[in-house]
Amino acid sequence: MQAKLHSTRIGEGPTVVLLHGLFGSGSNLGALARSLQDRYSVHSVDLPSHGRSDWLQQMDLHNMAQCLGEWMTHHDLADACLVGHSLGGKVAMQLALSAPQRVRALVVADIAPVVYDPQHDGVFAALQAVAAMRCTSRQAATQAMAKTIDDPGVVQFLLTSLRRGEDGVYRWRFDAEGIFRDYYRLREAPAAVGAFAGPVQFIKGGDSAYIQERHRPHILALFPQAQLKVMPGCGHWLHAQQPRLFNSLVGRFIDAHSS
């Protein structure tokens, strides 16, 4: 096994696996997990090099999807409905394309199967500043990050992955150096030999630029059964900005394709 993945589980029923985005952890989709637990066995997974999961020597979509497949085998999960946000959506797409028999249905939140330009320079600068300062308080870390991150919501999101060591110094729970090193690989499109013929729903934040009209041919070439839903009035963090609508869209789709 390349990396042992940490996960939590709630509920009983058909299997649903939730995958968070870059710099996050399994708890990020907690509201969705709770909305599904009355009828599904919901596993919230920390991606490799994130949360409490092991770190990879090289992060790329293929290796991360392979880790997810190995985690499924370890937990005796033959297949599952996958829900992935951002990077988690890319990993879910990669598993569907590499091992389609393992994916019963797929929900991809605000990401497309395309190459993206760099857009996290401010975040990386903030992560490095916090590490260099050896912050001993969350307030100091917050102030350090605010110098290069304009959005307070992003700062608060990153703070959820800051953990205090026995020496009193706060450190990142995810592999910040590894993510920076392999960032170009994580921006790549999923690799495919053929298309995934199963049911797929893409959900786009209406104010987000992550899924664009010009991406439609790429989506349909790899996922010919794909549907697209748009959530007006929210951006890339659609699951946090409008959780009730997001949970409803995901729940209805999974209900239709879980058996």
Beta bridge partners of 44: 8, 18
Catalytic choice (86, 98, 161, 208):
86
Catalytic choice (43, 120, 236, 257):
236
- Helix (H), strand (E) at residue 43: strand 41-45
Burial class (CB in 10 A: 0-12, 13-18, 19+), 36: buried
Neighbours of 239 (CB within 10 A): 28
Would you call 171 helix, strand, or coil by DSSP? strand
Task: Report which of 85, 16, 57, 60 is spatially closest to residue 188, judged by C-alpha positions.
Answer: 60
Question: Mutual orientation of helices 152-159 and 138-146 as an angle, nearest 10°?
Answer: 140
Burial class (CB in 10 A: 0-12, 13-18, 19+), 244: exposed
Is 53 labeled as catalytic in the residue annotation?
no
Please measure the distance between the N-terminal and C-terminal CA atoms of the chain and give it in whole angstroms: 29
Question: Which residues make Cβ contacts (< 8 Å) with residue 66, sequence separation at least 6?
Answer: 2, 98
CB distance 151 to 30 below 8 Å: no
Beta strands 170-172 and 162-164 are antiparallel
Question: Which residues make Cβ contacts (< 8 Å) with residue 14, sequence separation at least 6?
Answer: 40, 41, 81, 104, 258, 259
Is 236 labeled as catalytic in the residue annotation?
yes
Residues designated catalytic: 86, 236
